[in-house]
Amino acid sequence: RADCYLFAVCHTLTQTSSHQVLICRNYKGDVDMSEIDHFFTLLMQQEEEGLLCPVMSHGNVHFLWIKHSNLYLVATTNKNSNASLVYSFLYKLVEVFTEYFKELEEESIQDNFVVVYELLDELMDFGFPQTTDSKILQEYITQQGNKLEVAKTKVPTTVTNAVSWRSEGIRYKKNEVFIDVIESINVLVNANGSVMSSDIVGSIKLKTMLSGMPELRLGLNDRMLFALTGRDKGKTVTMEDVKFHQCVRLSRFESDRTISFIPPDGESELMSYRINTHVKPLIWIESVIEKFSHSRVEIMVKAKGQFKKQSVANNVEIRVPVPSDADSPKFKTSTGHAKYVPEKNLVVWSIKSFPGGKELLMRAHFCLPSVENHETEGRPPITVKFEIPYFTVSGIQVRYMKIIEKSGYQALPWVRYITQSGDYQLRTNT
């Protein structure tokens, strides 16, 4: 239950640093429309103090808000509401509006007032979230005004159906399911080379091209499943903070760890998870900084691929911070190319293809007129971006995907594994 009584989209007027309400919807009438003015006052006070809080209160009215570009999306309530649900709803609004208007900004709201109000009425009813799937909404809320009236007369069965995320009567000549297992590696390494923190955040994404109303069952090498069934062979993983798409039957998963569902059509995220484990940095970075006679600095960066030799990291970017007054850059790389980004005080070393087990080298030379001042600047960490296909750090595996449909057609499941960098930082000595 969200208990979201009043919703408003507000716009920042940059020239005057003031604000105005672009659109507002009062769902229950328990919160006065004028209360939004107090939000602006509280927001400006907190901005001046530099202490912005995601929840602000005036009397018994609470403002829960997010910022997107120069827009504020604000929900108000006078009850002790479920804040997590309200924020989920606000972020879902951004997702739906972006699906409809490509960019969510002041102009897209002003140009589509009718559609925005239609969406607000369908997304929430009397303070309770309703249909939030943009694909379903697009079946009967269109951006063409003349179609809007016609569409209203026939509401899709998905809105009243138990399977609200999938339409009936879907047909494909070739029935296929594409499964992407994507893991992001978060690593923080200190200046001494010790891993301070690390974890894996994963998601399983589907692209479903199946006819009818199929039932799918997904099997993973889940440690708890293997323990329940008495099997303990091969590598298993322990997933934490598991979050499923609404299509997954949670009661079935809780009882026997079976992931059973009727999938949405097209692309969707089936589930996300976290694995709290020690992760060895897949790309190890060493850097040496040499300063010469208060006039120049040389940076040497060595990168080593600490993953299997048969794997290759693609589109690698190593971002090395440099002093803010550096100029006249010169680079030498064993592979790839380096460029200076002065507005961010960075050297970006780009490597299209980085094989496992390889060591690569980059040298940078800068003139530095005020090298003595650099001592007090401090150095931000080196950050690394990469993507390694056909590989997962955790060892998670799709053991099977069963597709059952009453017509009995044969369908092909395709599985792809990808490991990529998340928040990947390596601190360095100055």
pLDDT digits (tens, 9 = 90+) for 147-200: 333 344 445 555 555 677 888 889 999 999 999 999 999 999 998 889 999 999
pLDDT of residue 209: 96
Q: Between 209 and 50, where is the model more confident?
A: 209
Is 377's pLDDT higher than 60? no
Q: What is the C-alpha to C-alpha distance for residues 399 and 219, in angstroms, rounded to an integer?
A: 5
| Closest of 370, 377, 363, 347 to residue 296, by C-alpha | 370
Q: What is the pLDDT of residue 226?
A: 63
Residue 162: CB atoms within 10 Å: 7
Indicate the pairing of strand 195-209 with strand 6-13.
Answer: unpaired
Count the helix, strand and coil residues of the chain and give each as a percent rounded to the nearest 5: 20, 45, 35
What's the mean per-residue pLDDT of the chain? 85
* Tens of pLDDT, residues 102-111: 888 888 888 8
Name the residue type at position 300.
M
Residue 43 amino acid letter? L
Choice between 154 and 14, residue whose per-residue pLDDT is larger: 154
Dihedral pair phi/psi, residue 161, rounded to 5°: -75, 155
Distance CA 259, CA 402 (A): 11
Residue in this structure with the two tokens 């097209």, named with its chain if needed: 266
Please give the average per-residue pLDDT across 112-131, as a whole number.
85
Instruction: State pLDDT tens for residues 281-314.
Output: 999 999 988 877 668 889 999 999 999 999 999 9
Q: Residue ranges of the alpha helices (H) in 57-200? A: 83-101, 106-110, 113-123, 134-140, 145-152, 157-160
Cβ neighbours of 362 (radius 10 Å): 23
Read off the pLDDT of each residue in 114-122 and give the average, rounded to a whole number.
88
Supply the pLDDT for residue 230. Answer: 57
Quick check: 318 and 303 in contact, CB under 8 A? yes
pLDDT band per the 50, 70, 90 thresholds, residue 123: confident
